[in-house]
């Protein structure tokens, strides 16, 4: 089997008929964590939604391969069964579905207890998912939800945004635990993480950073070097054809 878990080739995507991605190429080897940076509206969430197969994102050109299979025409539930999972930037509220019922449906009630404590999420079992949750509570539930599913490829859309400084540490450590190599039967997971704040880089081992601008990945580099570059120079890269690590 190829050691490339996710491969995206020349991906063009429209949202409700509006073109939002204009030729994205991305390869993520098994076990690596990649980080996606980019300004508001550059297409980061659209890319994650297109990988998951969510409406209203329509692939108009290009291919998505996962575990050696082409998935860009597969429905979202099939992609989830294959091992894709996502924490949303703005997840929907599920009225009438309690945290406990959601967890039981996935079959991970015991896990909920241990990880809920680590994420300061005890006492939410009877609450409807995301109904009345604060911004930070929504984000902590999104991480917990991924813990319950343990997808082979975890897509995180701004997992720390809106989370207070103390809980960011809990979120960061939980993501690191989720991704880390635990046992031979539960090996290092693969991830694509969107961040604006970069806080998450203090807690996880990140292998590669990508910069997305105007619906394209315009450069890739060591994630910490790339983040430092963005903090200093903004989202524009040096005017050079050379790879980012040698140019910043
Ligand atoms: N359903 C839609 N209809 C029209 N335009 C859309 C739709 N969904 C997304 N877009 C547009 O696509 C562009 C990319 O949006 P996206 O949410 O992917 O950006 P982003 O990089 O995640 O931004 P942010 O950092 O603010 O979360 C934006 O200009 C957005 O307005
Ligand atoms: Mg977004």
* pLDDT tens, position by position, 84-96: 999 999 999 999 9
Q: Is the CB of 161 under 6 A from ligand 1?
A: no
Q: Identify the nearest ligand to the CA of 88 by its number.
A: 2
User: Which pLDDT value is given to residue 247?
Assistant: 44
Check whether 20 has a pLDDT greater than 80.
yes
Which ligand has the shortest distance to the CA of 37? 1
Q: Is the CB of 38 under 6 A from ligand 1?
A: yes
Question: Do the bridges between strand 33-37 and strand 4-15 make them parallel or antiparallel, or are there none, so unpaired?
Answer: unpaired
Say how many Å lie between the CA of residue 206 and the centre of ligand 1: 25
Give me the domains of the chain, ranges plus CATH numbers.
4-91+151-247 (3.40.50.300)
Ligand 1: which atom is nearest the Cα of residue 215?
A: 14
Q: What is the pLDDT of residue 23?
A: 97
- Residue 244 is predicted with a pLDDT of 55
pLDDT of residue 243: 54
Q: Whose C-alpha lies nearest to ligand 1, atom 25?
A: 40
- Band of pLDDT at residue 176, cut at 50, 70 and 90: very high
Using a 10 angstrom Cβ sphere, with 0-12 exposed, 13-18 middle and 19 or more buried, the burial of residue 7 is: middle
User: Buried (b) or exposed (e) across 9-48, using 16+ Cβ within 10 A?
Assistant: bebbbbbeeeebbeebebbbebbbbbbbbbbeebbbbbbb
């Amino acid at each position: 089997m190829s050691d490339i878990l996710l491969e995206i080739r020349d991906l063009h995507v429209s949202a409700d008929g509006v073109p939002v991605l204009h030729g994205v190429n991305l390869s993520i080897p098994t076990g690596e964590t990649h980080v996606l940076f980019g300004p508001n509206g550059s297409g980061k969430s659209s890319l994650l939604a297109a990988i998951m197969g969510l409406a209203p994102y329509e692939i108009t050109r290009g291919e998505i391969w996962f575990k050696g299979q082409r998935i860009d025409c597969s429905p979202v539930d099939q992609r989830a069964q294959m091992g894709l999972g996502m924490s949303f930037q703005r997840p929907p509220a599920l009225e009438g579905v309690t945290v406990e019922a959601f967890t039981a449906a996935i079959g991970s009630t015991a896990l909920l207890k241990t990880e809920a404590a680590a994420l300061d999420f005890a006492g939410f079992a009877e609450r409807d998912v995301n109904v009345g949750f604060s911004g930070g509570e929504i984000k902590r539930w999104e991480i917990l939800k991924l813990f319950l599913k343990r997808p082979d490829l975890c897509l995180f859309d701004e997992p720390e945004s809106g989370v207070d400084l103390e809980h960011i540490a809990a979120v960061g450590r939980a993501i690191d635990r989720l991704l880390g190599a635990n046992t031979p039967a539960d090996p290092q997971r693969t991830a694509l993480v969107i961040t604006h704040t970069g806080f998450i880089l203090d807690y996880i081992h990140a292998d590669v950073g990508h910069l997305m601008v105007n619906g394209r990945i315009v450069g890739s580099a060591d994630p910490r070097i790339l983040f430092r570059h963005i903090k200093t120079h903004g989202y524009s890269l040096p005017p050079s054809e050379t790879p980012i690590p040698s140019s910043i």
